[in-house]
Amino acid sequence: MSGTEISGAEWLARSLAANGTTHVFFIDAVLRRTLIELGTLGVTRVLAHAEKSAAYMADGFARISGRPGICFAQSVGAANLAAGLQDAWLGYSPVIALTGREPPHYHHRNTYQEIPHRSLYASVTKFSADVAEAADLPRLLRQAWREAMTGSPRPAHLDLYGRSAAVVETGMVSEPVGVDPALQLTMPPYRPTPSDVEIERAAAKLRAASRIVIVAGTGAAASGAGPELLALGEALAAPIGTSLGGRGIIPTRHRLSIGCPGNYAAPPANQIVHEADLVLFVGCHTGDQVTHTWRIPPLQTQVVQIDIDPLELGRSYPHTLGLMGDPKATLAKLNAAIGRPARDASFADRAASIVAAWREERAARLSSNAAPILPDRLCAEITRALPEDGILVADTGYSGIWTSTLIELNGTTQTYLRAAGSLGWSFPAALGAKCAAGKRKVICWSGDGAIYYHLTELETARRRGIGVVLVINNNSGFGQGWPNMQRQQGNKPGDVSELGRFGPTNFADVARVFGLRGIRVDEPSQIAPALQEALASDETVVVDVNTDIDARAPEPWLPVATA
């Protein structure tokens, strides 16, 4: 098609389709010409009920597909779409958001529904650019794709002129459509590694340490570094923990696995990391959550850190030896340099005994027949039901704690996705994940407090035929904060339930109103058959589980404070 001009709408649709985009997620009214053209090319167009939902769907799609998730919103919806990118930003997910934007001669004139967009996207994107005319679209789309995918993957944004992007859609593009290397990038697109000198320096430091713990994060999972991680753990007799974003990168029942350290941790993980004399962070940022506010490990701990983003190296821990590189490729070089040294396995053995004792302590709750149902029992049933190649999507807060501490994963073909902080993210994200997952089954764990945010996407699931198992941990309130609310209320007048209780709502009934199957679970014995029935369906099925709001998730271990 060289030398022939086509409209911006045709160019955008044909370029996305030619380069492997299978789904786009949007709220009307934006890019209608492009969406119509995408339909003729076989790309699935998923109309959501809120801009944040569209962003969350694109996020879930990106995390499973390893390619950018694409979402659209018109000018007035740009602020809502930007808010929806917070989780993709925090979760290192490559989402590309396209919004409409009135052209410059409309600006600063009280234009209907228009506010400045640049500041909205500054905190949640690596790259945000105005597309003033169709001729700019090829160059800027390629750049947005590169920005979203390379280094630490994160969202990018293009603001297309015209409230519904009509200026760009109706303009002309002379650049031919075809397979574009920049738009073919998949995760991870590049695998840089440190020099041999840097590798040997890190290897020497690791060999010299007697009590090593490895903590792997989102970057390690995105890099597919599980086998290299296990090989290094075996060579160094080093227990392995993960952030929530790295959960499932190794088998959670492996003898070296200690769970997720930090403030969403089961007790063993923090205790074991705290006892280490060196911590190796692999593709894992060192923020407050994974370190329980920089106490796990203590700030004076010796650290080796592998990250593809050099800005992360030593960000939090002053005694850091940094290795800038792709986690999988860097670990492979590190493994070759370390070999199989003679190691004292007593620390690893101690770690394994701590984990085993905690598992034994928790076992009774995992098999409890109590009603209302303990979330522990729900976790055990999901562990048994999740297919060998299943995907588990979890919301934030208690949903993240329950699933990351008590649901077991095989570490190879199962995938765990978690919200990076946005309550209500999980259900739309699960729909997006399913769009990328093909025949793989998706189970979504949402609390009732979370599902109210985007309950309307049940209609989207039915209309578009997207089949996930939506498990609702339904305790008629915000369970994580409920004890604190009661404690803070004390003897003061007033009804504390007004602060964090709602319902009761039977979400199985709600599902049926939306034309979907709903299963209500009131007894523990009903969980397994409900999950089996739901997983056998190719449609979204709601499994509404009546749980105990007073049940407490595992509490993180912290060292005893000294005077």
pLDDT average, residue stretch 223-239: 98
pLDDT of residue 3: 59
**Residues 57-98: pLDDT tens digits?**
999 999 999 999 999 999 999 999 999 999 999 999 999 999
Homologous superfamily of 367-546 in CATH? Answer: Thiamin diphosphate (ThDP)-binding fold, Pyr/PP domains (3.40.50.970)
pLDDT value, residue 108: 79
pLDDT at 486: 93
Pairing of strands 95-101, 156-161: parallel
What pLDDT does residue 563 have? 46
pLDDT grade for 562, boundaries at 50, 70 and 90: low
Q: Do 196-351 and 367-546 come out as alike in CATH topology?
A: yes
The mean pLDDT value for 191-217 works out to: 98
The CATH architecture assigned to 6-184 reads 3-Layer(aba) Sandwich (3.40)
* Helix, strand, coil tally for the chain in percent (to 5): 45, 15, 40
Q: Between residues 104 and 299, which one has the greater pLDDT?
A: 299
Q: What is the pLDDT of residue 105?
A: 81
Specify the pairing of strand 172-173 against strand 6-7.
Answer: antiparallel
The yes-or-no verdict on residue 474 having pLDDT over 80 is yes
pLDDT at position 401: 96
> What does the pLDDT average to over 311-322?
97
pLDDT reported for residue 402: 97
N residues, the chain: 563
| Distance separating alpha carbons of residues 418 and 392, to the nearest angstrom | 8
Task: Give per-residue pLDDT as tens, 107-132.
Answer: 878 888 888 899 999 999 999 999 99
Share of the chain above pLDDT 70, in %: 99
Burial of 553 (0-12, 13-18, 19+ CB in 10 A): buried
pLDDT band at 457 (very low <50, low <70, confident <90, very high): very high
Domain positions in the chain: 6-184, 196-351, 367-546
Concatenating the DSSP letter of every residue in 471-516 gives EEEE-SB-TTTHHHHHHHHTT-SS-THHHHB-----HHHHHHHTTS
Yes or no: domain 196-351 corresponds to CATH 3.40.50.800: no
**Does residue 551 register a pLDDT over 80?**
yes
- pLDDT of residue 200 exceeding 70, the answer is yes
Mean per-residue pLDDT over the chain, rounded:
96
Looking up tokens 């840089």, which residue turns up? Answer: 192
pLDDT tops 70 at residue 1: no
- 176: helix, strand or coil: coil
